Amino acid sequence: MILVLSLLSFANAQAPYLLVQREDGSSLYQIALAANPCWMMRWNHSVTDIIVTDFYCWMAGEMVLTHSHTPSFDAGLGHIPGRGRQVSDGYGGYFIYDINEAVPNNFYYLRVGSMKVNHRIDYEGTTYSLSELAEHERVIIKVVMQ
């Protein structure tokens, strides 16, 4: 009986999805996070064109910004003392590890940049370009259970 209840519970378990939608609620991307609960948000810096990467994971029911990477100190980028620890990447840039900030309510808004900026999500070897579908639009990025 316990095995049957465990199997039913497993069958009814909800899987997390990363959902990107327009403000009107229409979906741009719905990415199943079952295989790996972590993804990257990347974009090209609007002035220097370097690629900035923020790393997120779905952990214990929360969307968490775990760490960040940037190849150089450019306008608007840097380490905030007390928020993670800065470590050289060995190539002139740096990682900020141990940020581990929960995203309030498991969602945030993003004003998507032009294709030059190319806001994109990388997950499991696939790139999902937000700029390609919603250039200059405000989108909502969230984790939902389905």
Number of domains the chain contains: 1
Residue 20 resides in a domain: yes
| Cβ contact 32:15 at 8 Å | yes
102 near 63, Cβ under 8 Å? yes
Decide the pairing of beta strands 126-129 and 101-102: unpaired
Domain presence at residue 7: no
Residue 3 is assigned to a structural domain of this protein: no
Domain extent for 109: 14-145
The amino acid sitting at 10 is: F
Residue 105 falls within a domain, yes or no?
yes
Specify if 53 maps to a domain. yes
Residues 6 or more apart from 21 whose CB is under 8 A from it?
27, 28, 139, 140, 142
Query: How would you write the pLDDT of the chain (146 residues) with one tens digit per residue?
Result: 444 334 334 444 689 999 999 999 999 999 999 889 999 999 998 777 889 999 999 999 999 999 999 887 765 566 667 788 989 999 988 999 999 999 999 999 999 999 999 999 999 999 999 999 999 999 999 999 98
Residue 6: inside a domain = no
- 103 inside domain: yes
Closest CA to 146 of 64, 39, 58: 58
pTM of the prediction? 0.86
